[in-house]
Copies of this chain bind each other. A is one copy, B any other.
Amino acid sequence: MNDTPLFQVSATPIDIPAIRQAMLDTDCGAYAQFEGWIRNKNDGRAVDRLEYEVYEPLAVAEGLRIIEEAMQRFKLKRAMVVHRSGLLELGDSAVVVAATSPHRDEAFKGCRYIIDEVKVRLPIWKKEHYASGEREWVNCQECENPRN
């Protein structure tokens, strides 16, 4: 159990029972888990599928740092994150975060902290493929010079 990497990038569907299995711990009374799912729309546009680009060396290093922070701040016994890369379909899990603690308050707060930080700190980008045929990098309205 203790040799499972705490932060993983996966190019194939996330094995959720394996995550839970790696987290099992009879010292803990609380297991909180969060999944980000691919929704059928974003900002009112119909989404068909989605593509994640992950810069893995830094995503892993920064992901482990986030887990470490959460474990210390919220006295978690253990925490794990698996994030997808590549092409995803509607309903697929893009990310799974799991946290254990003796008590539930810490497990909830630690799990929440991790997903919030993952979303703003990891070098991971989502390109949405819309039903209209267009494709667009999410969050990148400002990447392009408006004069062009």
Contact = CB atoms under 8 A, between A and B. Distances in A.
Interface of A: 16-17, 20, 24-40, 90-91, 93, 100, 102, 104, 107-108, 111-112, 115
User: For the complex, would chain A's binding face be called helix, strand, loop or mixed by DSSP majority?
Assistant: mixed
B29 A36 contact: yes
The 6 closest A-B CB pairs, nearest first, are: A31-B35, A29-B39, A26-B40, A33-B33, A26-B90, A26-B91
Copies of chain A in the complex: 2
Contacts of A39: 26-29, 102
A148 to B, nearest CB: 31
Contacts of A34: 30-33, 104, 107-108
A45 to B, nearest CB: 14
Nearest to A20: B16
